[in-house]
Amino acid sequence: MLSTVPLFGILYIMNRLILYILGNAIILLVLSCESVNSYKKYPNMVADMDPFSVGTFEAQFDRFLSSKVKKTEIEAVFHPRFNYVSLEFRSELLTYRQFWDEPARRQFAAALELYKRDFQDGKLVNNNRKTKSVYGKVKGRLEWLMSRYTKTRVSNPIIEIGYQFKENNPYFTTLMRSANEVITEDDDSTATNSQPIYMYFTRAQADVLAGIFNQARLLELIGKKNTPETDKPTEDSTPKDIYHEYGE
C-alpha cells in the first residue's frame, strides 16, 4: 500500500500555490482598477504622481505705484495628473499659482520665437496697447491666497502674450487678465476678482521658461523620478517642499 503522507504533502503544496496565484491575481486586478479610475478622474494625466518642482526662473513684475519693474524669482511645479505647470510666486502680499496646460505652453514657446524674430529684424513698435496680445491669447487658471491658513481663491483668466516697452526697453510679456472668482455652491464668502498681472521677460529669461515648459523634458523628469538612484547615498528622504495639488 502506498503511503498517504506524500499525497497530503502534494495537496498542501498545491493549495498554497493556488492561494498564492489567486492572491496575486486579485492584487493585479485592484491595481488595474485603480489605474483605470485614475485616468477617468484625470483625463489629461501623464503619470499618477504628486506635483514636484521642475525649476526656477526670473521675470520682472510692475513695482507698486511705479512705472519701473522689479525682478522676482518664480518656481515652476509640474502636476503630472493634470499635465499642468504652475508658476508660483508672491506679489503684493499674495501667493499666486498660475497654471499653464500643454497647449498654452506650446503657444508660449511659439510666441517667443516670433518675438525673437521681430526683435532681431527691428520690427518692434512702442505701442503697448497694440502689442500686449500680438502673439495670441491662452486660457489659464489661477489660484491665489494670503497665507496657507486662508481660503484659496480660484479664477480662470485669459493670458495674453505679446511685448511691452518699459523705460525704452522691450520685454516679452504675459498679461494675466482680471477674472471673476469661481464660487462653489457651498461657499458663502464674498466673491472677488483676480488682479491683472504682467510678467516681463528678457529673451534669455523667456528661453529659460520655454525650456521648463518643454513637454519632452517634463516627461523625462518623470522617468528620472521613477528610476531609483542606487549609486548615490541617501542622506535624507524627507521631502524638503510640500506642493499643493492642482485644485486643492
Query: 47 pLDDT band (50/70/90 cuts)?
Result: very high
Does a structural domain hold residue 46? no
pLDDT at 2 over 50: no
Bigger pLDDT: 1 vs 94: 94
Share of the chain above pLDDT 70, in %: 76
Does a structural domain hold residue 63? yes
Cα of first residue to Cα of last residue in the chain, in angstroms, is 72
pLDDT at 230 over 90: no
Does a structural domain hold residue 33? yes
Containing domain of residue 36, as a range? 1-41
Say if residues 208 and 57 touch (Cβ distance below 8 Å): yes
Output the nine-digit C-alpha cell for 186: 457651498
Bigger pLDDT: 191 vs 5: 191
Does a structural domain hold residue 234? no
* Structure confidence at residue 194 (pLDDT): 92
Q: Are residues 21 and 56 in the same domain?
A: no
Angle at 99 (CA atoms; ends 129, 68), nearest 5 degrees: 40
Q: Are residues 23 and 56 in the same domain?
A: no
Q: Are residues 36 and 58 in the same domain?
A: no
